[in-house]
Chains A and B, each alone.
Chain A
């Protein structure tokens, strides 16, 4: 039911967009949600990215979250044990990176692919990553490992030929935002390709943030650690003793 409603909304929006934003060679994209509120029952969100596309074109949708940094450990064999043998900090890495296409990458000329990072191996992430200290020949190994970790968390995904098109003028794709995805301002970039060249680009944003109690608790933890700590300890004491009282009172024995 939600889907049918969204589809109706989609047609209306597309009609509106096409008339209003015919500038970018008829490429106009939008998202079903512009702001994701993380509340108590939040467990990820499916976001529809859709719009009008130029006729006889191909579409690529890219969603990225703000750059982050991570500490990575490379494990090696020391005696009988596997332990960290090299530690680096990698920065300028998006917490989430997803790409969807209407065509397989091998139908796009190499020059375009290299310029825009239209590759199944997250070439854009690899190129932009900044390491400290420089891992030298281990750079690719660290990036492979990091991408595997992100893939496991459903944060890094590339879906070729996964965008639905309607009559070659409307496209839509559903992106799943896992609960683990970071908060922040996400960039949505939509490219239209014709003859192997990018002929139009449209940009959008999705704001992912904590709301209500989730936001209150996070702020308290970050800004008033002592108050938060006392709260945690009091709840533990009251809860632990309180529950044992309830059980003594109710259950006999």
Chain B
């Protein structure tokens, strides 16, 4: 069954879109990431114009994370205080990021740099997460203690001034690192067109020493507000949000997210992280390949 997407200006198979939304929603609920790094390339692959794909993506992620964040909130997995600090930084970062994108567009080749950003950030984080979770899984078997480097970061942040107690996460730390993390994620969110969950999750786990489930809930909470803001801004400035596409993705995505949360609860933190790291590494590999392989057509449509 086909439906016509008014803003993308083309018809698509509704089942295909439901499946894409459902699959990405499932991962979103399970890992606490928005899934933007997967959804945008998938939509472009089926022929949606890149600008429409990126903007509509934000809308779909808002829906999926609303569903996921709500489910986690009910389970007591959202550190609202931490989320608000992140969000504060996120708005600052997002504003800086929009200017960075403008500059890149003037210089040309924005698409290339955005892809390169993906490869560098996703590749680094994916590999680090993979190595860490593998070590943890092995360490658990051998009965070793956790990573001393993470503990060093946590001790450092704990000793900084402006200390604040994060009750839900059971940690005490200075509130500046969360704001700075928010700024960094905000910049990347605007430049790369993603929610930034893939950076938030490992940073909160390794740098702040928060429990994995709280990290996932809090990350979804932050992503929900970031993507709502991005959706609105895209609709106002670029008119590229396709409501019908978003709605179809949403139906699939919200259902997927509910199941993702359920499956995620049954897995251990390090098991979740090793799975996420494998997906991230896979996407990175795919992107890297598209940057270095000879294109079949030397000419492409820009923007």
Partners in one complex: yes
- Whether B11 contacts A240 by the Cβ 8 Å rule is no
- Whether A236 contacts B236 by the Cβ 8 Å rule is no
Assess A75 versus B262: contact at CB under 8 Å? Given A228-B241, A240-B63: no
User: A149 vs B83: C-alpha distance in the bound complex, in angstroms?
Assistant: 45
Mask of B18-44 contacts with A, CB within 8 angstroms, 1/0? 000000000000000000000000000
Assess A73 versus B302: contact at CB under 8 Å? Given A217-B6, A240-B62: yes
Assess A71 versus B302: contact at CB under 8 Å? Given A210-B6, A240-B67, A247-B255: yes
B299 within 8 A of A: yes
User: A84 vs B301: C-alpha distance in the bound complex, in angstroms?
Assistant: 10
- Whether B112 contacts A221 by the Cβ 8 Å rule is no
The DSSP consensus for interface residues of chain B is helix
CB under 8 Å from chain B, chain A span 224-249: 225-226, 228-233, 235-237, 239-244, 247
Assess A232 versus B258: contact at CB under 8 Å? Given A84-B302, A149-B301, A240-B65: no
- Whether B297 contacts A149 by the Cβ 8 Å rule is yes
B244 within 8 A of A: yes
User: A217 vs B7: C-alpha distance in the bound complex, in angstroms?
Assistant: 8
User: A39 vs B2: C-alpha distance in the bound complex, in angstroms?
Assistant: 11
B81 to chain A, nearest CB (A): 22
- A75 in complex: contacting residue of B67, B257, B300, CB < 8 Å: B300
- B67 in complex: contacting residue of A44, A148, A232, A243, CB < 8 Å: A243
- Whether B111 contacts A84 by the Cβ 8 Å rule is yes
Contact stretch, chosen from A14-22, A138-146, A197-205: A138-146
Mask of B270-303 contacts with A, CB within 8 angstroms, 1/0? 0000000000000000000001111101111111
Q: Report B-chain residues with C-beta under 8 Å of the C-beta of A80.
A: 292
Q: Report A-chain residues with C-beta under 8 Å of the C-beta of B63.
A: 235-237, 239-240
Among A142, A210, A226, A235, chain B packs the most CB atoms within 10 A around the CB of A235
Among B3, B6, B60, B68, chain A packs the most CB atoms within 10 A around the CB of B6
CB under 8 Å from chain B, chain A span 176-224: 179-180, 182-183, 210, 213-215, 217-218, 221-222
- Whether A244 contacts B298 by the Cβ 8 Å rule is no
- Whether B4 contacts A214 by the Cβ 8 Å rule is yes
CB under 8 Å from chain B, chain A span 95-154: 141-142, 144-146, 148-149
User: A40 vs B2: C-alpha distance in the bound complex, in angstroms?
Assistant: 8
- Whether A229 contacts B232 by the Cβ 8 Å rule is yes
Q: How many residues of B contact A (CB 8 A)?
A: 59
- Whether B246 contacts A235 by the Cβ 8 Å rule is yes
User: A239 vs B67: C-alpha distance in the bound complex, in angstroms?
Assistant: 8
B250 within 8 A of A: yes
B180 within 8 A of A: no
Assess A221 versus B239: contact at CB under 8 Å? Given A179-B11, A233-B59, A237-B228: yes
- Whether B257 contacts A244 by the Cβ 8 Å rule is yes
A83 within 8 A of B: yes
- B2 in complex: contacting residue of A41, A214, A229, A239, CB < 8 Å: A41
Assess A81 versus B291: contact at CB under 8 Å? Given A232-B246, A240-B250: yes
User: A74 vs B60: C-alpha distance in the bound complex, in angstroms?
Assistant: 32
Q: Report A-chain residues with C-beta under 8 Å of the C-beta of B64.
A: 240
- A145 in complex: contacting residue of B10, B65, B300, CB < 8 Å: B300
A70 within 8 A of B: yes
- Whether B62 contacts A141 by the Cβ 8 Å rule is no
Q: Report A-chain residues with C-beta under 8 Å of the C-beta of B108.
A: 84, 87
- Whether A225 contacts B4 by the Cβ 8 Å rule is no
9 smallest A-B Cβ distances: which pairs?
A145-B299, A229-B235, A240-B66, A243-B254, A179-B11, A43-B2, A236-B63, A240-B67, A43-B11
